[in-house]
Each structure stands twice: as C-alpha cells, then as structure tokens.
C-alpha cells in the first residue's frame, strides 16, 4: 500500500505538539530530523504507531523519525506547511535555543552525533563522486576510454572535485548544524582550498609562520574552524547593533576565524587526521581479520544508534593515507548485505502479509547498502534477525580481513557499489573477493536467521 505522506505529516505535527512547537525540520537519507522547543510535548510511542514510521531515535536534543529512503517525500509535505521556510526552519526558529532544558550529555556522544549529523546531508555527494571514480575504472579498463579523451577528463573531474572540495560541503553542513551561517561555513572551506593557502610553503600572517597543511585531503581543519566560527558569529550577532550587522558580522567573523584556523586549528586538525589514520591502520595491520570482523558485527548497532555516519572521517583519513579503505567500508559491506539476508529470512518465516512486505522491502534496500529500514523495522523489533545479521556480518568481516579485501572509492557498501571494489589497475582479484565475502555474509545471515526464527516459532507454538 502506498504511503500517504500528507497524512503522515499531519499526524507527526500533531504528535509533536503542533507546528508552533517545531523549531526546525530537516532530513538525511532515511530520517526526518526535528528540533523541538518543548521536548515534553513529543509523543514518542504514538509517533511510532503512525503508518510508515519505522522507529524514533532521540539524540542530543534532536528527534529523528526513521522513515526509509522515501523520507524526501515526507519532507516535501512539511515544506508545504505555512510557517516552514524553504530550508526547513520555522519562521521564529531564530529564538530557539538548544541549550534550554538540556540535561548534561556524554561528551563523546555529543561529538559523534555532531559529526554524523554533519556528514549525513553530504552522503549523496560522496556516493555520486565516489562511484564516478569506479565508473571511470570500468570505462578505462573494459571499454577502452583513453585518459586523454574528453570523456575521461569530465568523469575524472566529477570524481576529483567531490573530494577536493569536500571541505566546502562539510563547512556548509557543519555551520548549518550549529545554527550558524552555512554560507560562511562554505566560505571558510573555499578559503582553505584557495591555491594561495592550501598546502603552501613559507606562508605567514603578521610574521607568524603558518604550518603547511593539505586542506583538500582532510576534513578535521574545516570542522574545527567552523566550530570556532560559530562561536564568533553568534557572539557578534548578539552584540553588534542591528543596523551594522549586515556589514560587520560576516566581515569580522571571517577576519577572526581565518587566521585562527590557519595558525592553530588547521594544523591541529591535520595532525589529528594523520594520527587517526595511522592509528586505525596500525590496528588493522596488527589483526586485520579481527578488526574487520568487529566492524562487521557492530555495524547494525552503529546504525541503530546513529553512529555509522560518524565513521566517515576515518574513511577519509584512510583514503588519504593508504589510498583505499580496508577497514570501515570493507567491514560494513558484508554487514549491510547480512542485514538484507536476515530481513529476507524473516520475510520467509513471517505469516502476516504486512510483515512480509516490510521485510522484503527492507531486505532489498539493505542489499543495496541502506540498512536503516531493516535495522529499525525488522532486526530490532524481532531480535532474532539482529542476531543472524551480526553472525553473518562478523563471519563476512573475518573473511574480508583475512583475504585482504578493500574498497577503493567511497560509496555505500553493498552490492550496488560493486565497482568500488575494482582495483584502479584493472585487476579483478579484489572484486572477486568482495563478491565472495558478501555472498558468504548473505547466506550465513539468511540461514542463521531462518534457524533462529523457526526455533522461536516452535517455542511460541508450545
């Protein structure tokens, strides 16, 4: 049955305490994200019962309603409501203060939620740009497209521009996430990538040497810079007279932020990114099979708690240092298809048509790399598919680490991203390993889930 997005929108607004209680509305790939003025008015259990809603997750004050890949259709209905701006902000959202009524948070949880929320809107860009590189590998190695051709240069440009200009996207997303000025965040990213600043030697500011940093290969400097910029921007907005804000707030914000970022925050971010990549890769080199297996086992848990997107900085650090990702995306590939196998097994066991439909849809989506519908709609509600998926993902991850599987371009791990496993030199060994690993994870997950589900069904019959 097709979803009635207009009705879903109306019900969600009602259960959130009305439109006047919604400070902002946005969405990522599968979730509708709400900021509320009075969180006590949010009726969690009632919203979970709305047709089309898979689950509700609350993270650091943000209420996330899990819908699935069709969440843009629901978001479009919110955009039609009076009082909702085109960016998804209610007209008086400027008066909303996140720190009101907030209890103390776990610092790590806050950081991970911020990073995940920052990268989430950028994922479509990363997928398109990453897979463009995989398409280029196919064209050059199997279809005879020459590197000197215009076709090669255009597609190569799509791939390279994605990651070279990533600090611009991250700057905009991070600033928006912080309720600051997204365009100034993007501006900071552009400045860091400017040819006279990016990776330039012997640069100084009022005689103070500026450390040479390749800002196009790391995301931490722009994130730290935007965090600092947000504080400066909000402070200036508060104290500068209204008549002078338009001119002096953006000017002073950048005049203060850019030097501090170049002199202090940029080098710190660059060093941290290098340390992170070296540390993670050292663990992988010490116990590769075990390291990838852990990722394979825990991926459904990371998805459930919204931590999966927070792993992107690690992926970028690995890609910058070693040229591929043999750990994070490599471990998530068998984990994602294992979720698909568990959902399909649950569909086979289920006797209710509605449950079968949800499980099949979630299973197919998971095989393509998007697991949230499966995790929230099938694995955690039923429990036994979660166990089956973790077993399948763990065995697949163990095999991937043992065989040295890696992912050469960033994309959503799953069968739909198979070109990402083709070695740029044209050899097919890694692709074959990836296929074997994912099929093993799929089959093991399906069998384990089916056996566990049948045993549970027998117990319930007794």
Tell whether 66 and 206 lie within a shared domain. no
Q: Phi-psi category of 38—alpha, beta or left, where left has phi over 0 and alpha has psi -120 to 50?
A: beta
Q: pLDDT of 239-249, one tens digit each?
A: 999 899 999 99
* Phi, psi torsion values for 90, nearest 5 degrees: -70, 150
| Residue scoring higher pLDDT (373 or 435) | 435
| CATH of residue 71 | 3.30.1360.60
Tell whether 343 and 233 lie within a shared domain. no
Is the pLDDT confidence value at 106 over 70? no
Tell whether 242 and 344 lie within a shared domain. no
What residues contact 174, with CB distance under 8 A and at least 6 apart?
A: 114, 118, 185, 222, 223, 226, 227
Q: How far apart are CA 133 and CA 110, in angstroms?
A: 33
Report, as an integer, the average pLDDT of 377-385: 89
Q: How far apart are CA 348 and CA 450, in angstroms?
A: 8
Tell whether 237 and 320 lie within a shared domain. no
Report, as an integer, the average pLDDT of 322-347: 94
Q: How far apart are CA 262 and CA 285, in angstroms?
A: 33
Tell whether 311 and 277 lie within a shared domain. no
Q: In the structure, how many helices (H) and strands (E) does the chain have?
A: 19, 6
The answer to whether position 125 is within a domain reads no
Tell whether 314 and 454 lie within a shared domain. yes
Give 461's pLDDT tier (boundaries 50, 70, 90): low
**DSSP β-bridge partners for residue 24:** 35, 89
Task: Give the largest CA-CA distance in the chain.
Answer: 81
Is the pLDDT confidence value at 93 over 70? no
Residue-range definition of the domain harbouring residue 15: 5-87
Give 85's pLDDT tier (boundaries 50, 70, 90): low
Is the pLDDT confidence value at 333 over 80? yes
Closest CA to 449 of 348, 325, 298: 348
Total number of domains in the chain: 3
Tell whether 268 and 402 lie within a shared domain. no
pTM, full prediction: 0.73
Q: pLDDT of 255-294, one tens digit each?
A: 999 999 999 999 999 898 888 888 888 888 899 999 999 9
Tell whether 171 and 271 lie within a shared domain. yes
How far lies 62's CA from each of 25, 34, 106, in Å? 10, 6, 15
């Amino acid at each position: 049955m097709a979803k009635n997005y207009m009705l879903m929108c109306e019900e969600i607004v009602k259960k959130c305490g009305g439109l006047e209680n919604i400070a902002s509305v946005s969405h990522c790939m599968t979730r509708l994200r709400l900021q509320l003025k009075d969180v006590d008015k949010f009726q969690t259990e009632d919203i979970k019962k709305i047709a089309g809603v898979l689950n509700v997750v609350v993270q650091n004050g943000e209420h996330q309603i899990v819908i699935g890949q069709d969440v843009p259709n629901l978001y479009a209905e919110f955009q039609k409501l009076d009082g909702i701006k085109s960016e998804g902000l209610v007209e008086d959202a400027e008066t909303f203060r996140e720190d009101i009524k907030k209890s103390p948070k776990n610092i790590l949880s806050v950081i991970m939620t911020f990073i995940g929320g920052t990268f989430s809107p950028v994922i479509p860009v990363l997928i398109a740009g990453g897979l463009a590189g995989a398409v280029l590998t196919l064209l050059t190695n199997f279809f005879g497209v020459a590197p000197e051709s215009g076709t090669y240069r255009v597609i190569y440009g799509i791939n390279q521009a994605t990651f070279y200009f990533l600090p611009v996207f991250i700057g905009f997303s991070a600033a928006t996430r912080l309720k600051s000025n997204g365009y100034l965040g993007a501006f900071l990213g552009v400045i860091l990538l400017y040819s006279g600043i990016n990776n330039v030697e012997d640069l100084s500011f009022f005689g103070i040497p500026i450390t040479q940093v390749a800002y196009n290969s790391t995301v931490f400097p722009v994130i730290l810079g935007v965090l600092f910029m947000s504080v400066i921007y909000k402070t200036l907005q508060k104290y500068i007279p209204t008549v002078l804000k338009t001119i002096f707030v953006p000017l002073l914000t950048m005049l203060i932020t850019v030097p501090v970022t170049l002199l202090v925050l940029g080098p710190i971010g660059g060093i941290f990114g290098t340390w992170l990549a070296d540390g993670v890769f050292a663990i992988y080199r010490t116990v590769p099979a075990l390291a990838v297996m852990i990722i394979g086992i825990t991926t459904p848990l990371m998805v459930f708690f919204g931590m999966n997107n927070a792993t992107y900085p690690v992926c970028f650090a690995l890609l910058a240092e070693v040229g591929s990702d043999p750990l994070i995306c490599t471990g998530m590939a068998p984990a994602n298809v294992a979720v698909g196998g568990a959902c399909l097994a649950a569909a086979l066991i289920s006797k209710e048509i509605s449950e079968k439909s949800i499980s099949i849809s979630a299973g197919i989506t998971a095989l393509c790399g998007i697991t949230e519908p499966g995790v929230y709609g099938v694995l955690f509600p039923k429990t036994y598919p979660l166990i089956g998926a973790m077993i399948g993902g763990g065995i697949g991850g163990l095999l991937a680490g043992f065989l040295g599987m890696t992912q050469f371009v960033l994309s959503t791990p799953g069968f739909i991203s198979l070109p990402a496993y083709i070695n740029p030199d044209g050899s097919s060994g890694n692709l074959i390993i990836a296929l074997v690993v994912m099929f093993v994870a799929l089959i093991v997950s399906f069998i384990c889930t089916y056996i566990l589900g049948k045993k549970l069904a027998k117990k319930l019959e007794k």
